[in-house]
Structure formats: structure tokens, C-alpha cells
Structure 1
Amino acid sequence: MAEAVVIGAGIGGLTAAAALARRGWSVTVCERAPSIEPVGSGLAIAPNALRALDTIGVGDRVRELAALQGVAGVRRASGGWLSRTSVKAAQDRYGDPIVLLLRSTVVELLADLLPPGALRLDTAVQGVDAASGRVTTDAGELRADLVVAADGIRSSTRRALFPGHPEPVYSGVTSWRFVASSRGISGQALTGAESWGRGQVFGVMPLARDEVYCYATATVPAGQGHATPEEEKAELLRRFRGWHDPIPALVDRADPARVVRSDVFYMDTPLPAFHRGRVALLGDAAHSMTPNLGQGACQAIEDAVVLAHRVGEGGPVEDALAAYTRDRLPRTTPIVQRSASINRMTRWSNPLAVTARDAVVSLAGLAGPTAALRQADAVFNWWPPEN
């Protein structure tokens, strides 16, 4: 039986492990943390990723958690709509909804697919030999026919495979994420939307079970986070207290201990390949992106099922990984670039520039409820390879 070692038990790594196991591979997942409790609060699973999850048998379980209804789109900080579409129009166009759910829920669903004993927690990878597939950990050495490096945006495996390649760069924004209760907030006020102000963004995304996922970004220099959770919540209140309902109320409800702040970095310079020898890079390790298209986790899921498909076709692993790069590099590069472009627009703070930006978005919205959707066609109209 072919052996695979997956480095990292995030969404991309767990999806890869599950997909490889379904194809008969013996899988070991090495995770340096003592648990797989994910960093972050919520995420969006778009139609392209739902189809990928179908290939490992959990797509329908994710669809059952869809909570977004009615309309969604982009608003001003005052609450007026710049662009909106109906959730039904999106589902009709792509055959699937965008499912908003807790990141921990996705991790649990994927972890349940792993074979018994596959997950090794508290196991740090210290080095990888791309030619032989040898993986050195603090608990000993592993040998594999395939190594999947899903070790995140600061991937040590990527640095070893491509020494001297530019590291991810700061996007210019810091982000906050939290989940709050939506009890007592009217359904009309609790609309799935991303609101844009001067250099700031606030997203409100309803979840199941009377919860709402909130995220915010602000244009500030990197490394300016506060020392305590209470100070981070106070910073959010200061920045967004004058925005439209229900944003101030949701920030007020946030548990300071559950507010996650992180500076946003992304791969501005694409890698020349997503593999070397027997090692494949996946997800943020290969193509970290800003969150503006909601495609970070989705592209990692796509990576995973395409990788499993390619290595499952038989033949030398090195050839399969070359095909994986040919599949994924042209797919992910424009998504990274487009997401970064939207991020740059949200950073504008000059009043004239913001007025012009909002006018352009608003004019696009006047073209009808499918105008915004058409811009997503290239991302959402993706289908996994046939087995």
C-alpha cells in the first residue's frame, strides 16, 4: 500500500488525507499542535468547494448547515446597498448555495473521515527530503511515497523546497473575527452583507443556531495588535460604533476571549511550481490569499481532491505531482491576484477615491441581481476531476 504523510491538520491537510485514504493510500497526518481546534471563527464554503467535498462524501452534510437566506451583497457603512443579489439567484446559477459555518464544524467533519490512528497530534515536522520522501519529526522518522505539505502560510516546507522565493507580503490590513449571538436581532437587520467604509470593512454572516459570524478589516501598519482581548474588543467598538445596525450591537456582544486578530499576508509572487520531487504544497503553503473572495479554504479543498485524483491515476508520483502543478497553478494564481485587487480597493480612505469606488460598485449593482454573480463565474463554475 502506498504511504502518504500529510503535514498539517488544517482544512486542506485533512481534506487531502481523507481523499487519499478513499483512494487506498495509507495516510499519516502530522500536526504540531496538541489538538486540531482551528484558529479563526467561521468560513464560507462556495459551490466549487462543495463539489470538491462531494468527492469525499461530506458535501451534503455541509449543505444541510446552510443558513444564509434572502439577499446578500455589499453595503455602505451607513447601511445603504451598493450591490446585492438574492441567495436564490446564486443557488439557481451555480446549483449550490454558499454555506457559512463554523470552521470547527468543517474540521470535525473532515477529521471523522480519517482512518483510525492516522492523526498524530503534538508531532512537529523538522525536515523533509523531497527526493526520497523521508520526513523527520520530533518523534522519529517517517518514509513516504508522497508528502503533502499543508503547513500554512509560514510553511517551512515551502522555504526548504524554494529557498530564496519571496515570502508572503503584508496586505495592508489587519483583521478581526468572532462569533456572536443573533438572538433578539430582527431577521431584516441580520442580512448577510459586507459593509465598506473608508479603509475599513465589516462582514455580517448569519450561521445556524442563532449565531452570526462577524469579521472586520482595517488599514493599519502590521504588528499593531493590542495586548489584551478586552483592548481588541474596545478597538472594534471604537472603529465601528457609528456603522449601521446591527454592527455595533454585534460587536458589543462579542466575547473578548473569542475575538481573533491577525494581520493579513498573501503570496504576491506565485511559486514556480507546487511540488518538488515527492512533495506537494497545498493551500496557504502554496498560494495564501487575502480573504476578500472567501476562497482560501475553498482553494485548499480543491487542491486536495485534485492532488488525490492525480496520484490515484497510477504511474510515478513525480509525474502525478507535475500534473497537479499544471492543474492548480493556473487556477489559483488569478484568484490570489483578484482577491488582492479587491483588498486594495477596500483600503482606500481618501473621500474622493471612496466615492468613486462606491459609484462603480453601485453602477454594477444597477445592472441587476445577476451582475455580481457573473463576476464570480470563473471561480464558482469549477468542477472536480472525474474519478
Structure 2
Amino acid sequence: MSVRHVEISGAGFAGLTAAAAFAQRGWTVRVHERAPNLRTAGAGIFIFENGLKVLQAIGAYDDAVRGAHLTPARETRNAEGKLLARHPSRPNQRVYTIVRQQLLEAVADAARRAGAQILMGSEVVGATPAGVVSLSSGEMAKADLVIAADGVHSRIRDSQGLVRSRVKLGDGAIRILLPRNNDATDSIEEIVEHWSGKHRLLYVPCSKDWLYLALTTLNSDVEGKSLPLNTKAWGASFPHLRQLIDRIGNEGRWDEFEMIHLHRWSSGRVAVVGDAAHAQAPNLGQGGGCAMMNALGLAVAVEKEQDIQIALQQWEARERPLIEHTQRVSRLYSTVGRLPDSLRSVVFSFAGRSRWMVQQRMRTANHCPTGAL
């Protein structure tokens, strides 16, 4: 049997996970990243059990979690700091919070160890259903499979006419990574989600050295989304967190949330993975986990079925229902966040006690991904 070849556009979590998984299965792999350096937007990232199982499967687990924060619990609190819900972690329901750059480099290293080639400053500008990619350098390359892992603005996906809907969700986040002082402002080890009006401040320890903050608000909130951060506006929302907010200074970036659905996840020999296929609001902390699961599942599908197009159909049929469930629940969470404070507090308190609602929210986290060990 001849060695098969895959060309991947995008060196994010989806693209690099695919690179590692395909290389481990004997494919030759080239990853194209238009940036000059391996980098990731954002600051910190949640990895639940589903994502941890993918990292184990591709050999990136140890590097990814080294020094990362294993959270004892996740809490939701109101503007006064009153506890609305608490979800303790369990040995089989772990949540690691990791600096995104560390996770990205761990997955890239696993891909390289497996034999994948990662080309920086190399941009894919087009692809055909027959599996031919065009690079900005003028080079053209033929592959048995092309993977579009080039994010929400994917040029490959759009060139195939695959988008069914792309919806701006009306809210977004300022993300910040701060050095930890381990004083009164950042000594809490739990992940805490603070709500006040339409403002949400997510407090996330990522290691003994780093603290990740995500400040979410509506896109229409000019003061709330302004940069440098309007510490007066956010301090008024969370007076008990004012010392922490004052530490932010000029750090941070604003990103608006959106959700993407495709008619199909593939076109001929082109497959679309990660945010390019199923971007979602980050309310469940599953954007990275879904991207990695989907990429590993794709490698398993084409390993078991020689006919690429049949394999892609089987892959989508198996993986898509859970991904879309995750998108729905995440969007519902955004809807709850828009409720008046008193009503939202009641909903969060009830949801934290409802076994069924917790199961729906945690279904993806507790899922054993295709190809996991």
C-alpha cells in the first residue's frame, strides 16, 4: 500500500492535532502556517477529560499539563460574591487550565516527533476538491487529503461554498494573562465565574505563575469592551475585585464570539476542522477540546476506510451530533447571561442542582473521543 499524504492549512489546535494523528498513522504530513512563528490568540484554555484523552492519544499529554493548574472546583458567583453554583472536580472529571501557548507547543512537538513537517510563513490560498492546494509562494501540491484548519475566516472553506450560517453572537471577551502575585487578589485556586449585569469576569488560575482573566460583555457595550480596559466601569461592576482589575493595566485583546454551521464538513478531498467548521462561544470551555477531538476522529476515519470521500462522510456522521450539541448548549448559556441579575441567579442556582442540566453541560467533557486510548 502506498504512503498517503495530507496537506494541512493552519497550525492551531485542530491542525496540529491532525498532523500528529495522521503522522502516527503513517501518512506524510505538511502543515502550513502563514505566521512567522507558532503562536496562538487568547491567553488561557480549559481542557476537560475529553481533551486530555486526545492529548494522551497523540503523545502530548505530559508536556501539555506540566505545571498547569488542576482545578479543585468551578464556581459561579453574583456581583456581591455570593455563591450560586459549585461543581467540584473528580478524578474522572478533571479540568486543567493551561497557558494556551504551552498547549500549542506541546501539540506541535508531538506532531514533529511523529514525523510531521510544520512550515512557518507558508500560506495556503486555495484548494480544490481534487486535493490540490495553492500556496502564496506560487507552489501547488497534490494530496490525498487537504485539511482546512485555518480558523473562523477560513479561505479554503469559503472557496468550497460550505457555509450554511455564520452568526455574530453579540458578545465577546477581553482576554488577559497576568503574572500571579499569590496575594489576596489571586490566591484562590478555584475557577470562578463572577456575574454583574451584562458583565462577566472569569477568574482562571493557569499555573503557580499565571492567571487568566476573561472579561465578557455585549458588543454594544462600548465602555465595557474598550481597550485599554476601562477599570472604572469594571470596578463598579465588581467592587470586591477592584484590586485585581486595577492590575490589568494596558493588557488584553477584544474578540467577538460567533457560531458557524456548515452544509457539510467536506468537499471532495477537502475536510474542514476546528473553528473553521464549528466555531462556538467559549461558555463551555470546549472550543479547543472539540477541535482536537474532531481532528483525531478524522485521522481514525481515513485509517479505517481507504475511500477518502466515504471516510469523510462517516467521520462527519459520527462526530457532528456531539459538536452541534456543544454549540447549542454554549449558545443557551449566552442567552441566560443576558437575563436580569435576579433571574439569572435563580437559573444558575437551579442549573447547578439539576442533574439533567449538569449532564447536558458536561456531555462533551465526559465523552470518550474516537481514537482515544
TM-score, normalised relative to structure 1: 0.87
Q: Distance in 2 between the 1:312 and 1:323 partners?
A: 12
Assess if the C-alpha contact under 8 Å between 1:79 and 1:245 holds in 2. Answer: no
What is the aligned partner in structure 1 of residue 166 from structure 2?
A: 168
Q: 1:59 aligns with which of 58, 61, 71?
A: 61
Q: 1:345 aligns with which of 336, 340, 358?
A: 336
Gaps of 5+ in 1: none
Structure with greater proportional strand content: 2
More displaced 10-residue stretch of structure 1: 179-188 or 277-286 = 179-188
Q: Which AA in structure 1 matches 2:44?
A: G
SS in 2 for 1:299: helix
Offset, 1:363: 3.1
Q: 1:318 aligns with which of 289, 295, 309?
A: 309
Q: Distance in 2 between the 1:152 and 1:301 partners?
A: 13
Gaps of 5+ in 2: none
What is the aligned partner in structure 2 of residue 363 from structure 1?
A: 350
Q: Distance in 2 between the 1:35 and 1:246 partners?
A: 39
More displaced 10-residue stretch of structure 1: 210-219 or 110-119 = 110-119
Assess if the C-alpha contact under 8 Å between 2:199 and 2:237 holds in 1. Answer: no
Q: Distance in 1 between the 2:84 and 2:308 partners?
A: 49
Q: Which AA in structure 2 matches 1:41?
A: A
Give CA-to-partner distance per residue, 1:209-266, whole Å, 9 cap, x none: 332100011113399998xxxx61332x13321344773333322252x412111121
SS in 1 for 2:170: strand
Aligned residues: 366
Offset, 1:336: 0.7
SS in 2 for 1:113: helix
Offset, 1:354: 2.7
Q: Distance in 1 between the 2:362 and 2:216 partners?
A: 26
Q: Distance in 1 between the 2:70 and 2:38 partners?
A: 27
Q: Distance in 2 between the 1:208 and 1:189 partners?
A: 12
Q: Distance in 1 between the 2:286 and 2:240 partners?
A: 26
SS in 2 for 1:221: coil
Assess if the C-alpha contact under 8 Å between 1:125 and 1:136 holds in 2. Answer: yes
Identity %: 28
Offset, 1:341: 1.1
Give CA-to-partner distance per residue, 1:318-355, whole Å, 9 cap, x none: 1111111111221211111110111122133xxxx331
Q: Distance in 1 between the 2:343 and 2:300 partners?
A: 45
SS in 2 for 1:159: helix
Provide the aligned C-alpha RMSD in A.
2.4
Q: 1:252 aligns with which of 246, 253, 256?
A: 246
TM-score, normalised relative to structure 2: 0.91
Q: Distance in 2 between the 1:107 and 1:375 partners?
A: 28
Give CA-to-partner distance per residue, 1:259-299, whole Å, 9 cap, x none: 121111212xx322211111111010100000111111110
Q: Distance in 2 between the 1:198 and 1:222 partners?
A: 12
What is the aligned partner in structure 2 of residue 78 from structure 1?
A: 80
Q: Which AA in structure 1 matches 2:255?
A: S
Q: Which AA in structure 2 matches 1:171?
A: L
Question: Is 1:379 equivalent to 2:364 in the alignment?
Answer: yes
What is the aligned partner in structure 2 of residue 178 from structure 1?
A: 176
Assess if the C-alpha contact under 8 Å between 1:52 and 1:305 holds in 2. Answer: yes
What is the aligned partner in structure 1 of residue 259 from structure 2?
A: 266
